[in-house]
Structure 1
Amino acid sequence: MYYNTQQNVNRCFKTKINKDEKIGAVVYDEDKTNGRREPKMKVTVIGYWGGFPAANEATSAYLFEHDGFCLLVDCGSGALAKLQNYTAVENLDAVIISHYHYDHIADIGPLQYARLIHKNLGADLPVLPIYGHVEDEAAFSRLTHSGITEGIAYDPNGTLAVGPFSITFMKTVHPVPCYAMRITAGGKTVVYTADSSYIPEFLPFAKGADLLICECNFYAGQNAAPAGHMTSEEAAAIAEGARVGELWLTHLPHVGRHEQLVEEAGRTFRGVIRLAHTGLIWAQ
């Protein structure tokens, strides 16, 4: 299912489920066997630009929601302002970072300040866990702001449980250490490539995913590998080879006509292809 909305109604609430209502951002399916309604996994694009944000936009940031739990995946430039159109800063339960380039972490500092200010104004906020790798110790240390956020190292070779989400990792090919993520909850799987040049290991990593959020910083025929990025054709090759349900092209370039990326990817991938944009929502 696909939604596109900018309305400030999609919020995570820590509230008991009322069987006659939809609670905040959580959408429910009816279980025909016993009348129970199960929460759907939901992904909202907060930011999608590569490098720097266009006017009034944001770089990489994605809000994952399931069963009332809010997980922010990456927190790039402009993300905090855009996030508040979909959930309050206080509602975040966790953040996870793929790597420490500014277009993926620039708003970690403002997020820490926002939580600090809300706490000083009387909000009863727990320390917010921010998960990251430790291959850049200085950058990892900045994920912690005493009493406000705590940097927690993830094991790239293991499985990380964050609320209802189960996350596994794959190291990508990028100028700095970076990890793709396979995120599962409620029987659904989303794969986020983060930043990388094309490598065949993406095919088994993304195999059977319901949604592939794939970086696409270059057009077909361009040489993306030296920059540690991918073309539309390479993104489509992963989607087709892994037989994913849907492909989102993200980390978009500041040049050219973005619709061309979809046209190019469509020559290889026969499924649904969407351009990431602020407010794009997937829920299943």
Structure 2
Amino acid sequence: MRITVLGGVGAFPERERGCSGYLLRHEGFTLLIDPGYATHQALLGHVGVGDVDAVLVTHGHPDHCADLHPLLRTRAMTGVPGPLPLHAPAGALDAVLALDAPATLAGAYQVHDLPMPGRLTIGPLTVDTQPLPHFLPNAGVRITAGGASVAYTGDAGGKAAFAELAGGADLLIAEATHATELPPRMVGNLGTALDAGELATRAAAKALWLTHLWPGSDPATHRTAAATAYDGSITVAVPGLEWDAS
């Protein structure tokens, strides 16, 4: 199992990196996770649009799913055989799929509601889900294949609730919007790098990626905050970063 970061910023893209976006490849199967703003071009640097076998979206905010639209448009308009399976919480993709007239994307996709909580199979991958607190319904996920596992929070307050499902993960990808403190409006719905470090320790994760940093944040500050609660490997997600289970 190999994971490649396509973006890594929260809320809106920076000049040189887009928002959430991850490419997971295993045994010839390609899963695109959370294709947020400005990740489509990064995706094309790794695979063609016809190489994506399925898409998994944790929740419906555009910094996690907006670039699903150019992916589907390209597939529909260049004749890539469909439909592309889209897995997301019920209703999460309604807005992005409504950007075109139905006929434009007809046959290009098929939506599957994520069970929350639950388990599903996507290609060779086993995906376990758990609802986690956010402004919109959000799925924390654990993806397992070939004896390796990756846990990803999506965007979530109350990360401690995810510790059991993320337990022993080879890699934990955790939202860390701010370093140690949140603005009042975010409390309970988003988290910090410190929260991510605490989750990694509770879950006994083997490595931690901090993602969804607020644009303009200092990555070193986030790493330092997470390290006060977790003594394992800590990396800030940036485009091109890769993790390989082998």
TM-score, normalised relative to structure 2: 0.92
Q: Structure 1, unaligned stretches of length 5 or more?
A: 1-40
Identity of aligned residues (%): 32
Q: Which amino acid aligns with 1:244?
A: A
Q: CA deviation at 1:223?
A: 4.9
Give 1:119-138 correspondences, 5 Å limit. Answer: 119=79, 123=80, 125-136=81-92, 138=94
Q: Does 1:96 align with 2:56?
A: yes
Pick the structure with greater CA Rg. Answer: 1
Alignment partners' CA distance in 2, 1:140 and 1:258: 30
Q: Does 1:280 align with 2:241?
A: yes
Q: CA deviation at 1:208?
A: 0.3
Match 1:242 to one of 203, 206, 215? 203
Q: Does 1:231 align with 2:187?
A: no
Q: Structure 2, unaligned stretches of length 5 or more?
A: none
Q: Does 1:106 align with 2:66?
A: yes
RMSD, aligned CA: 1.9
Q: Secondary structure of the equivalent of 2:107?
A: coil
Q: Secondary structure of the equivalent of 1:205?
A: coil
Q: CA deviation at 1:263?
A: 1.1
Alignment partners' CA distance in 2, 1:69 and 1:96: 13
| TM-aligned CA distance change 1:216 to 1:261, over 3 Å | same
What residue is the counterpart of 1:5 in the other structure?
A: none
Q: Does 1:71 align with 2:31?
A: yes
Q: CA deviation at 1:67?
A: 0.1
Q: Does 1:155 align with 2:155?
A: no
Alignment partners' CA distance in 1, 2:93 and 2:54: 20
| TM-aligned CA distance change 1:82 to 1:242, over 3 Å | same
Deviation sequence 1:126-178 (CA, Å, 0-9, x none): 31111111155844865983211111112123211000110011111111111
Q: Secondary structure of the equivalent of 1:147?
A: coil
Deviation sequence 1:169-194 (CA, Å, 0-9, x none): 11111111111111001010000100
Match 2:163 to one of 203, 227, 247? 203
TM-score, normalised relative to structure 1: 0.80
* Aligned residues between the structures: 240
Deviates further, 217-226 or 150-159: 217-226
Alignment partners' CA distance in 2, 1:98 and 1:222: 21
Q: Secondary structure of the equivalent of 1:241?
A: helix
Match 1:59 to one of 19, 24, 42? 19
Match 1:213 to one of 167, 170, 173? 173
